[in-house]
Amino acid sequence: MTFRRLGSQADTPFAAVRLCAQALVYGTLKPGERNHRLIADAHHHGPAQTAPNFRLLNADIPAADHGGAARIEGELLTITSEQLARMDRLEGHPDWYRRECVPLADGTWAWLYLHPISPSAPAYRVIERGIARWTGGQRGARRPAGGRA
């Protein structure tokens, strides 16, 4: 399978922007996580995965990047331009996280926020293949009272 890299909205052709009326959120923007309130009014389609072209840093604040063979799992949303602008502000696009239109496992396309993963990141935190699912926020949310896991 060949992947077409479309880049950020600033350098994306108009047709590609239309292809990306959806976003795949995989971290703190997912339902139940601390930043979901920013896009709670988006239309939720449920779980989805990218095509196997990525890797995920599974840390307190996750980061996805090109260069692996993992499918990033997240929540697929249909979003408005206003919701996209809110997400861009949160993610610091294009200076911190970079938004790209990427292929999903089902052949459709969605916006995904990417951030370079440092070579010094602990190897046990980087998911390079298989299904890459962020657990950082959920792990903290499920900690019982008293602070023990």
Digit-coded pLDDT (tens) for 69-123: 999 999 999 999 999 999 999 999 999 999 999 999 999 999 999 999 999 999 9
Dist. CA 72–CA 134, nearest whole Å: 9
pLDDT at 15 over 80: no
Among 33, 73, 75, 91, which one carries the catalytic annotation? Answer: 91
Q: Which neighbouring-strand residues pair with 66?
A: 54
Digit-coded pLDDT (tens) for 40-59: 999 999 999 999 999 999 99
In the numeric block, the tokens 């709670």 are attached to: 40
**Which has the minimum average pLDDT: 2-6, 63-67, 72-76?**
2-6
Return the CATH number at 126. 3.10.490.10
Domain range spanning residue 39?
Answer: 9-141
- Residue 39 belongs to a domain: yes
- Residue 135 belongs to a domain: yes
How many domains is the chain partitioned into structurally?
A: 1
pLDDT at 31 over 60: yes
**Which has the minimum average pLDDT: 12-26, 90-104, 106-120, 124-138?**
12-26
100 has catalytic annotation: no
How high is the pLDDT of residue 23?
Answer: 98
Dist. CA 48–CA 110, nearest whole Å: 10
Report in angstroms the alpha-carbon separations of 35 from 25, 26, 86, 145.
11, 11, 11, 22
For 31, the 3-state DSSP assignment is coil
- Residue 24 belongs to a domain: yes
How do strand 69-78 and strand 43-49 relate by DSSP bridges? Answer: antiparallel
- Residue 1 belongs to a domain: no
> Nearest Cα to 114, choosing from 128, 97, 132?
97
Q: Which neighbouring-strand residues pair with 46?
A: 76
- Residue 125 belongs to a domain: yes
How high is the pLDDT of residue 18?
Answer: 54
pLDDT at 33 over 90: yes
